[in-house]
Amino acid sequence: MNGKRVKAWLIGAGALAPALALAHAGGAHESFSLVEYLGRFHPVVIHFPIALMIAAAFAELLNLILRREPFSAAARFLVVLAALAAPVAVSLGWAAESTLQFSAEYQGVIETHEGLALTATGLAIIAAVLSELGRRRNDPRLIQGYRVALLAAAVAVTATGFFGGELVYGIGHYRP
Ligand code: HEM
């Protein structure tokens, strides 16, 4: 085979590869499920509510200890972001759950994970509302309620992540 023929074969093969890939993607497209696809983003989003709730609680703790306004302002901002991020994580979690199959031994883990996630989300929303109301009305009882709800949300979301890890990496994953 001369040089020109080899080139022609290579160009032909190069054009065929994307065509085959597109045909394959077309086949996959037929069974495309938006819910299943969205569920794949659950592990991408979950870091936000986890980090935001813990960071908000830490900032409020620093405010309590050091009595510095910037920590209070940071906690106020972070708790609102956490209250917005958590429902997104929950929705994508439901999408993931509805399309994945879990064996019987994982049923307890997924139910605990879901229950803790809903608890953490509810608490974060309550904390954000109490934080805003407490500041606007200058009511110390509402501010105290916000602090309790925020601390509980941070604990609940940490436990949520713990059970999420067991779902993905296996029961007993954290055993030393
Ligand atoms: C605040 C809300 C939530 C947080 C912070 C959270 C956190 C997590 C974490 C850390 C993982 C492990 C991811 C990995 O290591 O790859 C995970 C996995 C999982 N979570 Fe959640 N989760 C939340 C809500 C939910 C809800 C409401 C459900 C519904 C039952 C759910 C279902 C799942 C499923 C099915 C997995 C394993 C498959 C996957 O990673 O997509 N999650 N979650």
Shortest-distance Cα residue to atom 9 of ligand 1: 164
Question: What global pTM score does this model have?
Answer: 0.85
State pLDDT tens for residues 97-150. Answer: 999 999 999 999 999 999 999 999 999 999 999 999 999 999 999 999 999 999
Examine the pLDDT at 159 and tell me if it is beyond 80: yes
Do residues 116 and 156 lie in contact, with contact meaning Cβ atoms separated by under 8 Å? yes
User: What would the two tokens of residue 120 be?
Assistant: 């953490």
Cα of 85 from ligand 1 centre, angstroms: 13
User: What would the two tokens of residue 15 be?
Assistant: 């054009």
Examine the pLDDT at 7 and tell me if it is beyond 70: no
Q: 31 falls in which pLDDT band (50, 70, 90)?
A: confident
Q: 2 falls in which pLDDT band (50, 70, 90)?
A: low
Examine the pLDDT at 16 and tell me if it is beyond 90: no
Examine the pLDDT at 10 and tell me if it is beyond 60: no
Specify the DSSP element, H or E, that contains 117.
helix 107-137
- Ligand 1 atom with the smallest distance to the CA of 169 is 15
Which residue, among 36, 68, 75, 32, has the nearest Cα to 52 in the 3D structure? Answer: 75
Mean pLDDT of the chain: 89
Angle, nearest 10°, between helix axes 69-99 and 140-169? 40
Distance CA 61, CA 78 (A): 13
Mean pLDDT throughout 28-50? 91
Do residues 52 and 78 lie in contact, with contact meaning Cβ atoms separated by under 8 Å? yes
Mean pLDDT throughout 54-82? 98
User: Which residues have any ligand 1 atom within 6 Å of their CB?
Assistant: 39, 42-43, 46, 49-50, 86, 89-90, 93-94, 96-97, 100, 110, 113-114, 117, 120-121, 157, 160-161, 164-165, 167-168
Cα of 175 from ligand 1 centre, angstroms: 20
Examine the pLDDT at 51 and tell me if it is beyond 80: yes
% pLDDT > 70, the chain: 83
